[in-house]
Amino acid sequence: MTLINKVIINKQTAKKPIWIMRQAGRYLPEFREIRKRNKDFIKLCLNEKLSTEITLQPLKRFDLDAAIIFSDILMVPHGLNQKVEFKKGFGPILDEIRINEMSTLNEEKFTKKLSPIYKILSLVKSNSVTKNKNIIGFIGAPWTLLVYMINKQSPKLKLKNNFLNDIATNKKILSLLDKFLKIHIKNQIKHGANIIQIFDSWAGLLSEKELKDYVYDPTIKLVEYTKSLNVPVICFPRNIKNYKKFCEIVRPDVISIDYNIDPNLIVKDIKIPVQGGMNPEILLSDKETLKKEAKRYMDIFKDHPYIFNLGHGVLPETNPDMMNYLIKTVKDY
């Protein structure tokens, strides 16, 4: 049994496994070399050879406990024929959403369009570097994907006014997403993913009363579906105000926390395994500060099933040596 599975399934507390969100990518010089020659991000995600190589890069460098496939949550809108492109310094730009066309799409066409992702998972799983490690597949939560699909860009820059007014359209899109996210989960598991993480990057945009329709209900369906396939599911509802309530309602196997929440509250309130929390900016400081902050999380969760991770993805300006130091600190704890 892998170290992460011991934490999730056996609730063991003695050893703390570590993997890092966005561990494959932009802070690694070997990734930047590939990226320089491959400007189209979506094409790169669908390049079987290169995406497999990128997924494995951090595992060749560091003593991590899992590989997370190099992909993107917006591959699902791409699979639904909504054009997605990434503009340097701006982020994702999505084209018009054509709901009627999406409604006629079947599982076979969707699977075919995203088939390179599933091949990449098979290649990662069969590589000796991932022996005794978990392979993490992932999806964007329905709410976060709805935000991107309707807003057509990151809400960090600007969120459309009256976003929640068109209830009928929102419901239609959420229903489509439920269907195709389940297909995407199933296909990832079939090809080697043995954990699924659900990223709800924009959960924090909603008020308490809006959470039921847009976060809790749609996420519960995906959590239950993943569990029915005998694979553990991690939820990361970033910047949600009440993690305790989320866990009680959605019931994931693991809750991943952001860096704005006090970990002391989490350890007191939450019974299930916890992941993450540390601010990625700590990796931009010095080794002494990094060790102190990593140790603070480890001390807080000493007697709780805990997977070490950050409270968001690793920043592009992170020095790989600092990443190595963090992993050693966690392993030596």
Which one-letter DSSP state was computed for residue 215?
I
Residue 117: pLDDT band with limits 50, 70, 90: very high
What's the mean pLDDT in 6-30? 97
What's the mean pLDDT in 71-77? 98
Q: Is the pLDDT of residue 161 over 80?
A: no
The residues that bridge with 175 in the sheet, in sequence order, are none
Q: Is the pLDDT of residue 157 over 80?
A: no
Q: Which among 19, 61, 63, 16 has a CA at the least distance from the CA of 333? A: 16
Q: What's the CATH fold of domain 17-272?
A: TIM Barrel (3.20.20)
Tell me if the pTM is above 0.85.
yes
Question: Is residue 317 within 8 Å of 27, Cβ to Cβ?
Answer: yes
Q: What's the whole-number average pLDDT of the chain? A: 96
pLDDT at 245: 97
Question: Is residue 277 within 8 Å of 236, Cβ to Cβ?
Answer: no
For residues 24 and 157, the model is more confident at 24
What's the mean pLDDT in 315-323? 98
Listed in order, strand segments (DSSP E) in the chain are: 66-68, 84-87, 91-94, 134-140, 195-200, 233-237, 254-257, 274-276, 306-307
Least confident of 54-63, 112-121, 158-167, 321-330: 158-167
Owner of token pair 């930047």: 32
What's the mean pLDDT in 172-185? 98
Q: Is the pLDDT of residue 165 over 90?
A: no
pLDDT at 280: 98
What's the mean pLDDT in 149-167? 84
Q: Which among 305, 301, 204 has a CA at the least distance from the CA of 254? A: 305
pLDDT at 140: 98
Residue 8: pLDDT band with limits 50, 70, 90: very high
Q: Break the chain into its structural domains and give their ranges.
A: 17-272
Other Cβ atoms within 10 Å of 320 Cβ, number? 16
Which one-letter DSSP state was computed for residue 81?
T
Region of 289 (left: φ > 0; alpha: ψ -120 to 50; beta: rest) is alpha
Question: Is residue 181 within 8 Å of 171, Cβ to Cβ?
Answer: no
pLDDT at 156: 83
Q: Coil, helix or strand for 94? A: strand
**The sheet that has 306-307: what strands, in order across it?**
66-68, 134-140, 195-200, 233-237, 254-257, 274-276, 306-307
